[in-house]
A = this chain, B = another copy of it.
Amino acid sequence: MSLINKRLSELARDVGGRVIGDGQVLIQNVASIEDAGPGEITFLANPRYQSHLSRCRASAIIVGPGVIKDDSVQETGKGYLEISDPYLAFARVLQMFARPVRYDKKISLRASVDPTASLGADVTLFPGVFVGAGVRVGRETVLYPGVFLGDGAQVGDGCVLHPNVVVREGCCIGNRVILHAGVVVGSDGFGYAGHGDGRIKIPQVGTVEIQDDVEIGANTTVDRATFGKTVIERRAKIDNLVQIAHNVTVGENSIIAAQVGIAGSTRIGKDVTLLGQVGVLNHLRIGDGATIGPQSGIPRSVPPGVVLSGGIADAPHHEWLKVMTLLPQLPKLWNLVRALEKKVSDLVKGGDQNHASHVRR
């Protein structure tokens, strides 16, 4: 990383927070709590890792409220930055120290650009880029080798399209969008009508709209709509190897972890979190702020704010955990019930005999 030199007190001015201990320590780099050494800053966000604190060799540590007592800090040449969201503060510090990639703002002679395409100021086109007819690319956007922009595609300002990203014809990418290597935007939705040899392809004549500040992970696929648009709203973040089917909407600020699959026409609300390998069926609505646990299969719409796991059973998270704990005991339960059944039936017989003996008596 960079050759920046900052005192902890200066950093505190930039990102906020209160300095405890030595505010004059000089910070030159950022590292994890296990690896950080002198001249480096790190953070402690998860109280579970508090035991790392004493062993930590960093010059400065960003911590949550109350983690460090003022009087416990000796003159050890260490400083602490106390702040309500240490992880967020740390991310800001990291952004300061991370060396920004410098692009040469040139259009490689080995890029193929249709004469009807329009390229903004300061774009960088690496060798092997293909830009189709009528394409518009905004200013300062970077297209790495192997990027393909189909006819009529639009890409906004300040985007980075990593190697081998494909944006097919007519699709529209906003500003400051990051598409990681191998992302495919605008491949045909999976639609057929009829059966057997009579099955025919439904032309997918819609497009994809990816709004500002979206980031999409490597080899993820976003299909074009049958009609209209598949939409990824502003600031949504999508991980690697995710499948977004035709006519899906992913709401703003939503988080979609790796290998999730969302079937056609489903609407994911705002601020939704879908954890890894979740599958959501078609034509559903996932309400704003809902969180779906890993590997859940979602067969029904989900109301806003709900936390769900193992969605096929449609159980709230804590109930599902109980279920999952009991599941391995199902064979035991089964035997228990069998034994019970026998006992009761013996009892019933015994009762009859009792009764009989009463009668006989």
Contact = CB atoms under 8 A, between A and B. Distances in A.
A227 B299 CA distance: 38
A350 B347 contact: no
A11 interface: no
A352 B199 CA distance: 69
A263 B276 contact: yes
A2 to B, nearest CB: 10
A55 interface: no
Contacts of A1: 205
B334 A329 contact: yes
Interface residues of A, number: 119
A80 interface: no
Contact of A228 (B32, B330, B334): B32
B193 A164 contact: no
A221 to B, nearest CB: 4
Contacts of A258: 190, 221, 243, 245, 261, 263
Given A145-B112, A319-B331, A323-B328, A240 B227 contact: no
A250 interface: no
Contacts of A110: 110, 112
Contacts of A354: 351, 354-355
A187 to B, nearest CB: 4
A333 to B, nearest CB: 6
A331 to B, nearest CB: 5
A67 interface: no
A146 B164 contact: yes
A217 B244 CA distance: 12
Contacts of A162: 166, 168, 187
Given A112-B110, A126-B130, A187-B181, A327 B313 contact: yes
A314 interface: yes
Contacts of A337: 333, 336-337, 340
Contact of A259 (B243, B319, B330): B243
Contacts of A326: 330-331, 334
Contact of A192 (B241, B255, B281, B334): B255
A279 B310 CA distance: 13
Interface string A142-165: 001110100000000000001110
Interface stretch (A19-27, A70-78, A92-100, A115-123): A92-100
Given A97-B205, A180-B184, 13 more contacts: A92-B200, A94-B202, A94-B205, A101-B169, A128-B128, A182-B182, A188-B215, A190-B237, A190-B239, A313-B328, A327-B327, A337-B340, A343-B345
6 contacts: A91-B202, A190-B237, A281-B294, A295-B297, A323-B327, A337-B337
